A and B are shown apart, each in its own frame.
Chain A
Amino acid sequence: MPGTFFGINTALRGLEAQQGAMDVTSHNIANASTPGYSRQSVDMQTTDPWYDPSMQPAGVGQFGTGVTITAITRAHDSFTQQQIVYQNQAQQQQQTLSDTLNSVSQIYNDPTAQGFSTLLSNYFTAWQQLANNPSDNPSRAVVASQGAALANGFNAAAGSLASLQQNQDHQVGAYVQQINTISGQIAGLNQQIVAVLGTGQQPNDLKDQRDTLLNQLSQLANVQYTVSSNGSMNVALVGAGALVQGVSSFQLATIPDSQASSQVAAQPGFSDVVFQGQTKPLQLSGGQLGGALTMRDQTLQGQLNQLNSLAKNVVTAVNGFQMAGYGSNGATGIPFFAPGGTTAATMAVNPAIQSNLANIAAASSVDPVTGLPAPGDGTVAQQVSQLQETPPAGGTVTLQQQYEGIISALGVAAHQAQTNVQTGQLVLQHLNAQESSVSAVSINEESSNLIQFQNAYQAAARVISIFNQTISDMITQLGV
């Protein structure tokens, strides 16, 4: 038979177990609104039964000895977490793309009456009016000023695109710093978690903290992670290398891109992302960092390239006709747009035109005697205005159609990005709901558990009090 005080010990174990369970429940309730918290639960198990320790045990043996808490575990769905990590970076990339394309749309401000396309059509209309009145000075003034407005429009658009690029470049530095901070923290947590696991305990709260950091990191960049057998989480940047390996973290840095290195950034002077101490630029995509790099080097650069191509075509086509024509003062070979300015940022009306409107070539020939063109000759002006309907030399679409192509492509991309953002939000919403379903605290559940444990505690306490009475009876009744 087990000893006199055997029952009290069993009841005591029950008391302790229930009290521990209530402590865990109270921890859950306290953290009911903590973001990233996974609800914890106790694993209760019966303790080893007692039996008579002899070669030939007598009696029935195998008396149960009570209950103990073997582990406190957290409810966590690691598969859903992986999905969330992946979705976060994809969503941030699309969000960055959508925001950037919206900004670009506002630069062109089309289709409205104050948009870029109005500048183009006003310019060619001015040439048409000059063709009708080649000797008319006010008409020349209008052509010069519309030309200046068009060139300014190109300059402003190019300037805005460049400044958007600069913004993204600055963001790169900020994101790299954030990534470094987080990866350092993850490495620190890894150390603590491994230490705790080594003692056989479950570092639930530390793991929650580490998961929260991982979520933040996944919004910044496209990362992959694995949890090794000793419990540390190894995180790697997809396509680049390890960020966190056990207890060490590898820091990122930015260096200015130079012509000499493998030019990864779109323009020299922009920041390349490298591992600290190395010079090989990393090709990153996904998350806010990848998004900023992609916007800066591909999306915005692509827009700038398209704008530059349009500017170059306008300048080349107009100058081509102008230089072959004659101004009202007989001058020839004077380009309308400054010959060095063939990009959107450098396009400008030739100062020779602005200082002397007579240099604007409207006529196609001059009188051999006077060296001046006939006042009614507007054929070259006519040719320039016909650029509205005929493609320039060597081209397949008119200048305005080329611009429409830019806007159309921009619209499609922006629309697609917006749709992707909305879809992505829905998916994330769904994944978060799934995760909540497993990990989040439900107060109803906790409070009903609390009742259960409280009742069990009360019962165990009652049992102790009864045993106390029994032993007291034994002592008083069986004694002398």
Chain B
Amino acid sequence: MRISDQQMLAQAQYQMNADYDRLAQAQTVLSTMRQINSPADNPVGAAAALELQDHLAQTNSFSTTASDTLSWLQTTDTSLSSVNDALLQARTLAVQGGDGTLTQDQRRAIASNVAQVLQTAVQAANATYNGHYVLSGYKTSTAPFGITTSGGATTVNYQGDNNAIQREISPGQMMQINTPGSTALPAVFAAIARLHDDLQAGNTAAISGADLQALDQAHDGLLVSQATVGASINRIQSVQTTLQTTQVNLSGQYSQLVDANMAQAATDFSARQATYQAALSAAAKVIQPTLLEFLK
């Protein structure tokens, strides 16, 4: 093909520009340390990276929810344990008070003990987490239990509702995090309250009979609730472990997709720099002597 002087120059310019362009791209990768700087760099990868980003954000959010839920459940667990302790104490007092050899004054002394125990138990049941009552169902700003006395009858009223607080702890998985106080506790408090009233009134037969039975039955119900809470705690802890693993995996995948391999980026840059410099030095020699120089 016939080559003209213009063509030599045009060719050199085109090549210099092309090499400079490639050098600039390598520099962008090196300075941002990312392979994907715009969707055009890797369209499929960019969409996948976005999805990973979203999942990671969701997983982080679920993680926060899970640890919040764990604290809630642990508060519930502590509360129920304290009620359990109070119940056992009441039972001991019931056995004591059922002794037929006691005087009424002694029974009244025991009754006032039982009253203390009841108050302790109700206070434990009114536990809060972060300012919310954990046993009130949806009514988290209302204390679940209140003691009222009228005449010789002590009653403990449940002031919460029966709603289950459901939280999403991982995609598509809902978990009930609360135990409404109406599940097992009214029986417990009713038994202790009756024990108190009977001690106060001196109904020895009831104390060692029906009251003791009621306490035992209430204890069984409470144990079931505690077991459920324990199972929930196990579940949430296992979910937390899974979420942590997921976080690590997602971060790893994202990094693999988007971040640049330092060694490769630096090598690329050096290689393209060398190519560009070669193009420059070739361009410098494009002005060749013509025939005129030799015609004298």
Task: Let me know if B54 and A451 touch, CB within 8 A.
Answer: no
B290 part of interface (Cβ distance < 8 Å): yes
Q: Does A122 contact B (CB under 8 A)?
A: yes
A132 touches B40 (CB 8 A): no
Q: Chain A residues near B62: list those with CB within 8 A.
A: 128
What mask results when residues 26 to 51 of chain B are scored 1 for a CB within 8 Å of chain A, else 0?
A: 00000000101011111110110111
Contact partners of B4 in chain A: CB under 8 A: 436-437, 440-442
Determine whether the beta carbon of B38 is less than 8 Å from that of A33.
no
Separation of A84 and B41 alpha carbons in the complex (Å): 30
* B140→A375 contact, CB < 8 A: yes
Contact A436 to B163, CB < 8 A, known contacts A117-B50, A376-B132, A376-B140: no
* A459 proximity list for chain B (CB < 8 A): none
Closest to B134 in A: A376
CA distance A362 to B1 in the complex (A): 78
Partner pick for B165 among A112, A124, A376, A415, CB 8 A cutoff: A376
Which residues from 45 to 83 on chain B have a C-beta closer than 8 Å to any C-beta of chain A?
46-47, 49-51, 53-54, 57-58, 60-62, 64-65, 68
Contact of A440 among B7, B43, B50, B168 (CB under 8 A): B7
Asked if B58 and A132 make an inter-chain contact with CB atoms under 8 angstroms apart, the answer reads no
Partner of B40, one of A414, A433, A436: A414
Question: Are B54 and A117 in contact, with the CB atoms below 8 A?
Answer: yes
Pick the contact of A374 from B39, B42, B163, B167 — CB < 8 Å?
B163
Using A121-B58, A443-B290, A447-B292 as known contacts, say yes or no to A408 and B39 having CB atoms under 8 A apart. yes
Q: Which positions 262-296 of chain B face chain A at CB distance < 8 Å?
A: 290-292, 295
Complex Cα spacing A403 to B39, Å: 13
- Chain A residues with CB below 8 A from B2, complex form: 437-438, 442
CB-defined contacts of A108 to chain B, threshold 8 Å: 39
| Residue in contact with B6 in the complex, picked from A33, A388, A412, A425, CB distance below 8 Å | A33
The answer to whether B166 touches A411 (Cβ under 8 A) is no
In the complex, chain A residues whose CB is within 8 Å of the CB of B47: 404-405, 407-408, 411
Chain B residues contacting A124 (CB-CB under 8 Å) are: 58
Decide yes or no: A407 and B138 within 8 Å by CB, A437-B7, A447-B295 being known contacts. no
Chain A residue nearest to B64 (CB atoms) is A129
A414→B39 CA distance, assembly (Å): 8
Q: Give the size of the chain B interface in residues (CB under 8 angstroms).
A: 56
A118 interface residue (CB < 8 Å to B)? yes
CB pair B295–A125 under 8 Å, yes or no, is: no
Instruction: Tell me if A101 is interfacial: C-beta within 8 Å of chain B.
Output: yes
Which residues of chain B are near A118, meaning CB under 8 Å?
53, 57
The answer to whether B84 has its CB under 8 Å from any CB of chain A is no
CA distance A436 to B136 in the complex (A): 89
Q: Does B151 contact A (CB under 8 A)?
A: no
Within 8 Å of chain B (Cβ to Cβ): is A135?
yes
For the complex formed, measure the closest distance between the CB of A121 and the CB atoms of chain B, giving whole angstroms: 4
Select the residue from B42, B68, B166, B291 with max chain A CB neighbours within 10 A: B291
Judged by a CB distance under 8 angstroms, whether A382 is at the interface is yes
Distance to closest chain A CB from B133 (angstroms): 9
Q: Taking CB as reference atom, which chain B residue is nearest A75? A: B2
The answer to whether A111 and B53 touch (CB under 8 A), given A376-B163, A385-B168, A432-B10, is: yes
Which chain A positions have C-beta within 8 A of B40?
101-102, 105, 410-411, 414-415, 418
A376 touches B137 (CB 8 A): yes
Whole-angstrom distance between the Cβ of A16 and the nearest chain B Cβ = 24
A113, closest chain B residue (CB) = B53
> Distance in Å from the Cβ of A153 to the closest Cβ of chain B?
15
Q: Does A355 contact B (CB under 8 A)?
A: no
In contact, B50 and A442 (Cβ under 8 angstroms)? no
Q: A374 and B46: CB pair below 8 A?
A: no
A106 is an interface residue with CB less than 8 A from chain B: yes
Tell whether, in the assembled complex, residue B3 and residue A437 are in contact, meaning their CB atoms are under 8 Å apart.
yes
Report the minimum CB–CB distance from B182 to chain A (whole Å). Answer: 14
A32 CB within 8 Å of chain B? yes
Are A382 and B50 CB-contacts (below 8 A) given A132-B68, A433-B10, A442-B5? Answer: no
Query: With a CB–CB cut-off of 8 A, which chain B residues contact A407?
Result: 39, 46-47, 50
B38 and A408 form a contact (CB under 8 A): no
Partner of B50, one of A111, A128, A379, A418: A111
Question: Is the beta-carbon distance between B38 and A414 smaller than 8 angstroms?
Answer: yes
B171 to chain A, nearest CB (A): 5
Question: Which residues of chain A have C-beta atoms less than 8 A from B39's C-beta?
Answer: 105, 108, 110-111, 407-408, 410-411, 414-415
What is the CB-to-nearest-CB distance from B17 to chain A, in angstroms, rounded to a whole number?
9
B108 within 8 A of A: no
CA distance A125 to B171 in the complex (A): 13
- Closest-by-CB residue of B relative to A104 is B39
Interface string of A356-384 (1 = CB under 8 A from B): 00000000000000000111111100100
Is A400 interfacial (CB-CB < 8 Å)?
A: yes
A102 lies within 8 A of B168 (CB) = no
Residues of chain A lying within 8 A (CB to CB) of residue B140? 135, 374-376
Q: List 19 A-B contacts (CB under 8 A).
A: A120-B54, A128-B61, A128-B65, A374-B139, A375-B132, A376-B178, A377-B163, A389-B171, A389-B172, A404-B50, A408-B39, A415-B39, A415-B43, A433-B1, A434-B1, A436-B3, A437-B2, A441-B4, A447-B295
The 9 A-B residue pairs whose C-beta atoms are closest, nearest first, are A411-B39, A411-B43, A374-B138, A440-B4, A414-B40, A408-B47, A376-B140, A121-B57, A111-B49
